[in-house]
A and B are shown apart, each in its own frame.
Chain A
Amino acid sequence: MTQTMKIVSVAAVLVVLAVIVPHSSSFVVLLTTRAMCFAILAMSVDLLLGFTGLSSMGQAAYFGVGAYLTAILAAKFHFGLGWDFWLVVLMGMAIGAALAALFGLFAIRASGVYFLMITLALGQCVWGLAYRWNSLTGGDNGINVTNRPNFGLDLTNERTFFFLVFAFFAASLILLYILVRSPFGRSLEGIRERELRMQILGYNTWLHKYIAFIIAGAFGGLAGVLWAHTNGLISPETVVLTTSVDSLLMVVLGGAGTLVGAAIGSGIVFALREYLSTLVPWWQYALGGVYVLTILYLPTGLMGFPARLRQIRGASTKNPSKSGDAKKLASAPS
C-alpha cells in the first residue's frame, strides 16, 4: 500500500468514526470518547517507544498532572469552564512538557531497562504526591469535576463533547504524523535503530531524545486535560502505574511505530475492559488472551497483520517472487 493510500484509508476510518459513533447509544459514545483520550496518551508513548526506542513506564505522570491541573482549576477556582478552557488546554500541555523536561534530565541519560526503571520511579513520585498532598489533590478520594466547559458549545452534552475530543484526537494524530515524517522524526528513527551511528554522524542524540520526551509529555498532558472532563473523577487511580502500563500495552498491541496502532490498541483495550466486562465475567481472560496471542503471532502488533498475511501467503507459494521484493525495495523511500 502506498503512503497516500494509507493516509486516505486512515482519514476514511476517522470520518466513519465521526459519523457512526454519535448515532449509537450514549454509552458507546462515552466509551469512544474515553478510548480517544487514551489513544492520545498511547500515541505519545508510541512517539517514544515506536519511533525513538525508549520504553517509558511513567507516561501516566504527564497524563496525571494535566488531569489534576484541569480538575483543581475547575473544582476549586471555577477556571476553564468557559472560553478559558482553551487556556487550560495550553496550560495542561505546558505542565506536561515542563514535567517531562524535568524528568527527562534524569531519565534520558539511561537507556533500555534502566530508562524503564527511572521513568517508573519518577511516575510513582507523581502518584505519591497525588495520594499524599491531601489539601491540593483530595488524597485518595480525588477530585470530582462536575461541570464541563460551556463556551457557546455546551460540552455537558456527551455527543458535543465527543466531537471535541475527536477533534483533539485527529489533530494529535496529524501533528504527530507530521512530526515523525519530518527530518527530526527521521533522526529519532535513526537513534532507535542505531544510536552510536547517529552520534558518529554528528547528531546530538541526547538532545533529540530529550525533545521527543518533552513532546510526548505535552501530548500526555493534553490527554490528561481531556480525561479530567471525560471521566469527571481524578484520583490517584488516574496516575497509578497501571495507567502507564496500559498505555504501553496499547501501543504494543496495536503496533509500535505506527501511531494509528496506538489508537487501535486503545480502542481494543477499552472495548474489552469497559464493554465486554459488562457482558461477561471472563473479560479479563479475553484481554489476556489478546495480549498473549498478539505477542506470539504478531510481534509487530495488529498493524503488522497485513505484512504478516503477505508473509504467510508468500511462504505458501512455492516460488516466492524475488523480483517483487526487489521492486518494492527500489520503490521504498530512502
Chain B
Amino acid sequence: MTSRLPRKLNPLLLGSALALGLSLASNAQAEELRIGFIAPVTGIFAQIGKDMTDGFQLYLDQHGGKLGGADVKFIVEDDQGKPDTGVIKAKKLILQDKVNMFIGGLLASTGYALAPVSTAEKTLYISSISSADDLTQRQLDKYPYFARTSWTSSQPEQPLGQWACDQGYKKVVTIAADYAFGYESVGGFQKVFEDCGGKVIQKIWPPLGTKDFGPYIPNIKADADAIFSLMVGPMALQFPKQLRAAGIKKPITAGGTSYDEFVLPFMGDEVIGDVSALHYSAAIETPANEAFVKAYRTKYGKVPSYYSENNYTTAMWLDEAMKQAGGKYPGPEKFIKIMEGIKLDAPRGPVRMDDMRNPIENVYIKKVEKKKMFGYDKAELWNTVIKTYPAVSQFWTYGKEKFLKQPVYSRDFPACKYCE
C-alpha cells in the first residue's frame, strides 16, 4: 500500500513539476504579493504622493509587511503627477517587476490614462485616489481588470449640492480646477443643486496648479449667495487667503480637496467656518478613526489626509481579500470578485463596493473649526463633521439606470443655464 501510493503519485508529481517549470514566471510570485504603487514623488504634488504612500505603508507596517498572509513586495514609482509618465511607470511595473497589481494614480486624468494599461496588460489596477467618474460608470465595460477603493469625483459633491440647497442658497458661483476632476465635481454639485431649485450663475475655471487667483477673484459675481470652490494641491492654500483678502465674505461650500487635512494645517484662521464635503475627515469621532489618526500622527508627525486614509483602507481591503483567497493571489478577475463581496469598517466608516466596482460610503459635510481633538493639547484646525449622508452611492438618489443615461459630467454638462 504505502509503496504503491507514491508510485501512483509519481507521474502526477512529475506533471506538476513540469507545469511548475513551465509557468515559472507566475509561480515565482506565488509566495509573495507584488504590488506596484504609482504616486507623485517629485513635482508640485510630491507631498500628496507622500501621504498616499505613507497611508499604505502604515497598514503594511502594522501588519508585519503581510497582506492576508502573503509577503508584500511594495514598489513605489514616481509619476510626477503626469498621466503620461504614469503610463510608462505602470508598464515598467508590469513588464519589469512583474507586479500582480498596480495601485494609485493621483489625478483623475491619470486614472483615465492608467485604466487602459490594465486592460492591455491584463493586470489588476486599483484606483485608490484617482476619482475619474466614468471609469466606474459608462466606460466600465472596457476595463475588466479595474476596481476602485476611493470615490468618484461627483460622489461627495452631489450630497453637497443638496446640503447647499437646504441651507437656502439660491445662487452659487463655482470656481474649480480646469480638468476632469474639476468638471466632474462641479457637474455633480450643479446637477443636484439645480434639481433642488438652486441656480449656478457662473463657472470659473482656473488651470490646474494656479498660484495667483488675482485675475479670477474680481470676476466673481456679486449677487451670489455662496461660492463652490474645488482646489487641488497647493491651489487650495492660496484661494481662500486671496478671496478673503479681497474682502469677499460669501460663505464657501467646497469640494473636499479644498480643505483636506493635507492643506488644513498650513491654513490661516480665515478658513474657519468654511464648509466642504468628502468621504473622509480626520475629525470623525469613531474609535477606528481615532486609532488611525493617532497611529499615523505618531509615525509621520502629521494628521492623515484623505489621501492617506484611502490608501490605508485600500491596504485593508487587499488584506481582507487576500485572506479570503487563502493567501494566494488568484488572478485579477477572481480577486475583483472577492473584493466586491467585502464589507469593511474603515477609518472613514463602513465601506463596500457597488456593482460598478465603486465604493458605497458615507459622505461627510464638514466645517472647519479650531479646537482640540483626540487629546492633543493644542487647538488646531479640524474638519468637524456637521452632517453625515450615510451609504452614498456614486449615482446619488438618481438610480443607476437613470444616472447612466445622462452624459458624464464635463465642462459643458450640465449646461450653465443661468450664466449670463
Residues in A lying within 8 Å of B, measured CB to CB: 25-27, 30, 34, 134, 139-142, 144, 146, 231-233, 235, 237-238, 274, 277-278, 281, 284
- Could you jot down 18 A-B contacts, CB within 8 Å? A27-B91, A27-B96, A30-B95, A134-B411, A140-B208, A141-B112, A144-B112, A144-B113, A146-B116, A146-B119, A146-B120, A231-B87, A232-B116, A233-B84, A235-B84, A235-B109, A277-B78, A281-B78
Q: How far is the CA of A144 from the CA of B135 in the complex (A)?
A: 13
Inter-subunit contact B88/A141 (CB<8 Å): no
In the complex, what residue of chain A is closest to B117 when comparing beta carbons? A232
**Sample of 20 further A-B pairs with CB below 8 A, known A30-B95, A144-B113:** A25-B95, A26-B95, A27-B91, A34-B88, A134-B411, A141-B112, A141-B180, A142-B112, A144-B112, A146-B119, A231-B84, A231-B87, A232-B87, A233-B83, A233-B84, A237-B82, A277-B78, A278-B77, A278-B92, A281-B78
Q: How far is the CA of A235 from the CA of B108 in the complex (A)?
A: 13
Inter-subunit contact B96/A142 (CB<8 Å): no
In the complex, what residue of chain A is closest to B82 when comparing beta carbons? A237
Inter-subunit contact B83/A142 (CB<8 Å): yes
Inter-subunit contact A278/B116 (CB<8 Å): no
Inter-subunit contact B91/A30 (CB<8 Å): yes
Q: How far is the CA of A142 from the CA of B180 in the complex (A)?
A: 10
Residues in B lying within 8 Å of A, measured CB to CB: 41-42, 77-78, 82-84, 87-89, 91-92, 95-96, 108-109, 112-113, 116-117, 119-120, 132, 178-180, 208, 410-412
Query: Which residues of A are found within 8 Å of B178, using beta-carbon distances?
Result: 140
Query: Which residues of A are found within 8 Å of B83, using beta-carbon distances?
Result: 141-142, 233, 235, 237
In the complex, what residue of chain A is closest to B114 when comparing beta carbons? A233
Known: A139-B411, A237-B84. A278 touches B89 (CB 8 A): yes
Q: How far is the CA of A275 from the CA of B37 in the complex (A)?
A: 16
In the complex, what residue of chain B is closest to A238 when comparing beta carbons? B84
Ranked 9 nearest A-B pairs via Cβ? A140-B179, A27-B95, A27-B96, A237-B84, A26-B95, A144-B116, A141-B112, A233-B113, A141-B109
Among B42, B88, B95, B410: residue with most chain A CB under 10 A: B88
Inter-subunit contact B96/A25 (CB<8 Å): yes
| Number of A-B residue pairs with CB-CB distance less than 8 Å in the complex they form | 70
Q: How far is the CA of A139 from the CA of B119 in the complex (A)?
A: 22
Instruction: State the main secondary structure of chain A at its contact with B.
Output: helix
In the complex, what residue of chain A is closest to B411 when comparing beta carbons? A134
Contact of B120 among A232, A274, A281 (CB under 8 A): A232
Inter-subunit contact B116/A134 (CB<8 Å): no
Query: Which residues of B are found within 8 Å of A134, using beta-carbon distances?
Result: 410-412
Query: Which residues of B are found within 8 Å of A27, using beta-carbon distances?
Result: 91-92, 95-96
Query: Which residues of A are found within 8 Å of B87, using beta-carbon distances?
Result: 231-233
Please give the distance in Å from B15's CB to the nearest CB on chain A.
29
Q: How far is the CA of A34 from the CA of B113 in the complex (A)?
A: 17
Query: Which residues of A are found within 8 Å of B92, using beta-carbon distances?
Result: 27, 274, 278
Query: Which residues of A are found within 8 Å of B179, using beta-carbon distances?
Result: 139-141
Query: Which residues of A are found within 8 Å of B119, using beta-carbon distances?
Result: 146
Among B41, B78, B84, B120: residue with most chain A CB under 10 A: B84
Query: Which residues of B are found within 8 Å of A231, using beta-carbon distances?
Result: 84, 87-88
Query: Which residues of A are found within 8 Å of B120, using beta-carbon distances?
Result: 146, 232
Q: How far is the CA of A278 from the CA of B132 in the complex (A)?
A: 26
Please give the distance in Å from A192's CB to the nearest CB on chain B.
33
Q: How far is the CA of A139 from the CA of B254 in the complex (A)?
A: 24
Please give the distance in Å from A307's CB to the nearest CB on chain B.
35
Q: How far is the CA of A144 from the CA of B117 in the complex (A)?
A: 10
In the complex, what residue of chain B is closest to A277 when comparing beta carbons? B78
Q: How far is the CA of A54 from the CA of B298 in the complex (A)?
A: 57
Query: Which residues of B are found within 8 Å of A281, using beta-carbon distances?
Result: 41, 78
Please give the distance in Å from B113's CB to the nearest CB on chain A.
5
Q: How far is the CA of A284 from the CA of B77 in the complex (A)?
A: 14
Query: Which residues of A are found within 8 Å of B88, using beta-carbon distances?
Result: 30, 34, 231, 274
Q: How far is the CA of A139 from the CA of B77 in the complex (A)?
A: 26
Query: Which residues of B are found within 8 Å of A30, using beta-carbon distances?
Result: 88, 91, 95
Please give the distance in Å from B230's CB to the nearest CB on chain A.
14
In the complex, what residue of chain B is closest to A147 when comparing beta carbons? B120
Q: How far is the CA of A194 from the CA of B91 in the complex (A)?
A: 48
Query: Which residues of A are found within 8 Å of B132, using beta-carbon distances?
Result: 141
In the complex, what residue of chain B is closest to A235 when comparing beta carbons? B83
Q: How far is the CA of A312 from the CA of B91 in the complex (A)?
A: 44
Inter-subunit contact A142/B78 (CB<8 Å): no
Known: A146-B119, A235-B83. A140 touches B109 (CB 8 A): yes
Q: How far is the CA of A223 from the CA of B44 in the complex (A)?
A: 29
Q: How far is the CA of A237 from the CA of B88 in the complex (A)?
A: 13
Query: Which residues of B are found within 8 Å of A34, using beta-carbon distances?
Result: 88
Q: How far is the CA of A9 from the CA of B255 in the complex (A)?
A: 60
Query: Which residues of A are found within 8 Å of B82, using beta-carbon distances?
Result: 237
Please give the distance in Å from B269's CB to the nearest CB on chain A.
34
In the complex, what residue of chain B is closest to A278 when comparing beta carbons? B92
Query: Which residues of B are found within 8 Å of A144, using beta-carbon distances?
Result: 112-113, 116
Q: How far is the CA of A235 from the CA of B112 in the complex (A)?
A: 11
Q: How far is the CA of A235 from the CA of B410 in the complex (A)?
A: 17
Inter-subunit contact B180/A140 (CB<8 Å): yes
Please give the distance in Å from B306's CB to the nearest CB on chain A.
22
Query: Which residues of B are found within 8 Å of A237, using beta-carbon distances?
Result: 82-84
Q: How far is the CA of A162 from the CA of B416 in the complex (A)?
A: 48
Please give the distance in Å from A130's CB to the nearest CB on chain B.
13
Inter-subunit contact A278/B96 (CB<8 Å): yes
Query: Which residues of B are found within 8 Å of A139, using beta-carbon distances?
Result: 179-180, 411
Please give the distance in Å from B345's CB to the nearest CB on chain A.
34
In the complex, what residue of chain A is closest to B88 when comparing beta carbons? A274
In the complex, what residue of chain A is closest to B410 when comparing beta carbons? A134
Q: How far is the CA of A141 from the CA of B208 in the complex (A)?
A: 13
Please give the distance in Å from B328's CB to the nearest CB on chain A.
25
Please give the distance in Å from A120's CB to the nearest CB on chain B.
18
Q: How far is the CA of A72 from the CA of B77 in the complex (A)?
A: 30
Q: How far is the CA of A326 from the CA of B68 in the complex (A)?
A: 77
Query: Which residues of A are found within 8 Å of B95, using beta-carbon distances?
Result: 25-27, 30
In the complex, what residue of chain B is closest to A140 when comparing beta carbons? B179
Q: How far is the CA of A30 from the CA of B87 in the complex (A)?
A: 12
Q: How far is the CA of A235 from the CA of B89 in the complex (A)?
A: 16
